[in-house]
Amino acid sequence: MAKYNMKLLSDEVARKILKELRFGAFRNNRYLPTERDMAIRMNVSRTVIRDALSILEGEGFVSRKQGFGTIINLHVLKIPTRMDLEVEFMDMVSDIGKKPDIALFKVREEYADEIKANNLGVVEGNKLLAIERTVSADGANVIYCTDYISKSLIIDNNYTKTDLRKPIFYFLEKFCNSSVYMDLTEVKAILADEHLANIFNIKVGEPVMHMDEIGYNFIGDPVLYSSEYYKEGIFNHTVLRKKI
């Protein structure tokens, strides 16, 4: 539990530092202060700062090398939307300077068809919890997503619709005692059918980006299947690739 709490704190501090890099005291800097100075500034231990900087380094926002200190990658910070990072939909909309909102929210139970069963590693016909939502930007629908979780994964059924409105990762951790360690995503352009055309207020046949995503826990078991659609021309999805 102590290690888990330490990870949560490191993640929280990493997000705070990132906010400072983008909008705060460090936004025009080329280097970050020393770990000692950062620890004092954030009122945490140097271990937490070191872990937080490791997170940001892994995401490409900073680079660290002995003798050089921590370099701020200003060119990476300028990228509003990245496909290689797991970012909540509301934050994704905020990052492009628009006001986010949940325009549609529905919860239902359904039985797994062949595709969903294969993606979630369950038997066809198993009960699934489906959470459907549409996210708007300045009042216009820009993201449509349905998340699927096997009902057998849920260990605490005392959840409410309010719990389900929160990010799906919160629900997985709190009510399934699980989390997404990594995901595999298939990205392709499709032509909008009537359903998508109505959601995005576009014409049938206009292009839409579709992302089919399977989330796996630490031991490689699928715990989440998401089908996401993005309105064309709203987000510039960039991928950061680092040499290893």
**pLDDT tens-place string over residues 187-226:** 999 999 999 999 999 999 999 999 999 999 999 999 999 9
Which pLDDT does position 4 carry in this prediction? 42
Which pLDDT does position 152 carry in this prediction? 95
pLDDT(85) > 90: no
Confidence grade of residue 7 (pLDDT, cut at 50, 70, 90): low
CATH number listed for the domain at residues 2-77 = 1.10.10.10
Which pLDDT does position 24 carry in this prediction? 86
Domain segments of the chain as ranges: 2-77, 81-238
- pTM comes to 0.78
Contact between 92 and 235 under an 8 Å Cβ cutoff? The reply is yes
Alpha helices per DSSP H over 24-81: 35-42, 46-58, 74-77
What is the residue type of 14?
A
The CATH superfamily label for domain 81-238 reads Chorismate lyase-like (3.40.1410.10)
Segment 137-152 mean pLDDT: 96
Q: C-alpha distances in angstroms, 108 versus 80, 121, 146, 161?
A: 33, 20, 11, 11
* Mean pLDDT score across all residues of the chain: 90
| Of residues 213, 131, 128, 136, the one with CA closest to residue 164 | 131
178/1: higher pLDDT: 178
The answer to whether the 2-77 and 81-238 domains have the same CATH topology is no
